């Protein structure tokens, strides 16, 4: 029964997909609450048109999203790919907002309500301007663009916060800038497969030409796009974490290290792995401290760090983008010493429990992230998981000792 299935739908933003008995896609829609929106279709007598349509619907699937803006982008891509029979575009009503792309040498993008046709490109219409703004803000973090309406004068705020590549400042070539615009056009048109294919092709081309920095930037864009289209990913959180920690690359794979011991006995350590903000338990590792006899947290952190990453390097396995140490300045500096000995280079931070300060190995003062910031919540969640995993192993070791 559809009603029973829909009762289990989450109360969060997302995209729903209605299917026929044969499995054909009939309709794709977005919702701020999947549960409430889809439930509304199942109320008989709402409208004759809806009742007739729902007689054809045999099954309903959904994809959770982090935000309504993400749902808007994912909906466009799925409609383009699946071509549902009953999806009807909005009428060409001038009261609806459009995305306008100018025909300039450096094309600009902004939201407009065109009163007459021009040579510019118009994408839409869209039903809600607020939602459209949110979607463009999300896209702009991946593919920066200029939104100035007048002539170029001097770099604006968007340039200074990294959301405009700065054609007015001569910071970007026409070729690179127009590549961004083409990518945005494909996102808004729902052409995700073509966009991802083109980016992958260009990335391989750059890598072959040994332009590794440019290839790495494209790789980061590809990963964010994949997260964006996958549904309930943490694309905004990952982008925000990169900015707030001032990292060189996106922190896609994060690892955390913690130590657990009682009076120096049965000391153990843990490493937990998170990818795209989600735990990857197959990658978790636990360590019985072997080389430290007395109570010395710094030395224990050093031992676990050394054993973990020496193994990864010897096996030629990929290193994480960010390592989080459960501890303060001293713990991070000890981990940095081990990192230097191994000749490796990864981003490294510590989180001190007392005030949840973020410590860097090269700074004298910690970074204080506001308590309500989602980036801090992500760091805390990974740290807490490392602590839980270390404690669980410590309890096993203590139990074995008692049995002996």
CATH, residue 73: 3.40.1440.10
Same domain, 33 and 157: no
DSSP line for 175-227: HHHHHHHHHHHHHHTT-HHHHHHHHHHHHHHHHHTT-HHHHHHHHHHHHHHHH
Same domain, 178 and 283: no
pLDDT value for 91? 47
Write down which residue in 190, 209, 243 finishes a domain.
Answer: 190
pLDDT value for 325? 97
User: Where in the sequence is the domain holding 331, given as residue range(s)?
Assistant: 253-403
Write down which residue in 82, 112, 146 finishes a domain.
Answer: 82
**Residue reference for tokens 């935000």:** 67
Query: What's the domain count of the chain?
Result: 3
Write down which residue in 139, 171, 190 finishes a domain.
Answer: 190
Same domain, 112 and 67: no
Same domain, 380 and 318: yes
Same domain, 110 and 145: yes
pLDDT value for 89? 58
pLDDT value for 240? 85
DSSP-derived pairing of the beta strands 285-288 and 14-19: unpaired
**Residue reference for tokens 């430290």:** 292
- Among candidate residues 100, 82, 64, the one with its CA nearest the CA of residue 26: 82
pLDDT value for 238? 83
Weakly modelled stretches of the chain, pLDDT under 70: 89-95, 151-152, 233, 262-266, 393-404
Q: What is the dihedral of CA 28, 32, 35, 40, to 10 degrees?
A: -70
Same domain, 395 and 267: yes
CATH number at residue 306: 3.30.420.340
Same domain, 258 and 394: yes
List, for residues 247-273, the tens digit of each pLDDT value. Answer: 888 888 999 999 987 655 668 889 999
pLDDT value for 401? 55
Same domain, 76 and 111: no
């Amino acid at each position: 029964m559809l009603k029973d299935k829909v009762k289990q739908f989450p109360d969060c933003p997302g995209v729903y997909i209605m299917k026929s008995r044969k499995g054909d896609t009939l309709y794709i829609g977005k919702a701020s609450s999947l549960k409430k929106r889809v439930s509304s279709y199942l109320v008989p007598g709402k409208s004759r048109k809806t009742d007739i349509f729902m007689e054809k619907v045999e099954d309903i699937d959904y994809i959770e999203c982090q935000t309504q803006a993400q749902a808007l982008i994912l909906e466009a891509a799925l409609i383009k790919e699946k071509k549902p029979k009953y999806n009807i575009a909005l009428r060409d009503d001038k009261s609806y907002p459009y995305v306008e792309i100018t025909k300039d040498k450096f094309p600009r993008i902004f939201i407009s309500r065109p009163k007459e046709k021009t040579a510019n490109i118009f994408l839409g219409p869209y039903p809600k301007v607020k939602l459209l703004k949110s979607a463009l803000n999300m896209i702009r973090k991946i593919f920066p663009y200029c939104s100035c309406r007048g002539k170029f004068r001097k770099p604006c705020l968007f340039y200074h916060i990294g959301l405009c590549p700065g054609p007015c400042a001569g910071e970007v070539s026409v070729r690179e800038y127009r590549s961004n615009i083409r990518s945005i056009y494909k996102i808004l048109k729902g052409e995700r497969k073509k966009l991802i294919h083109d980016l992958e092709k260009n990335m391989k081309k750059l890598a072959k030409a040994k332009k590794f920095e440019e290839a790495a930037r494209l790789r980061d864009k590809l990963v964010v796009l994949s997260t964006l289209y996958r549904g309930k990913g943490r694309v905004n959180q990952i982008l925000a974490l990169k900015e707030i920690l001032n990292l060189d690359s996106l922190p896609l794979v994060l690892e955390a290290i913690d130590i657990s011991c009682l009076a120096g006995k049965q000391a153990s350590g843990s490493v937990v792995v998170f990818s795209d903000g989600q735990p990857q338990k197959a990658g978790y590792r636990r360590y019985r401290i072997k080389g430290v006899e007395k109570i010395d947290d710094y030395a224990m952190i050093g031992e676990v760090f050394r054993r973990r990453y020496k193994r990864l390097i010897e096996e030629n396995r990929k290193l994480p983008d960010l390592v989080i140490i459960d501890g303060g300045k001293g713990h991070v500096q000890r981990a940095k010493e081990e990192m230097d000995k191994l000749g490796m280079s990864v981003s490294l931070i510590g989180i001190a429990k007392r005030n949840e300060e973020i410590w860097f190995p090269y700074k004298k003062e910690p970074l204080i992230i506001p308590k309500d910031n989602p980036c801090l919540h992500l760091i805390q969640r990974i740290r807490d998981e490392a602590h839980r995993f270390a404690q669980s192993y410590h309890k096993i070791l203590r139990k074995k000792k008692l049995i002996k």
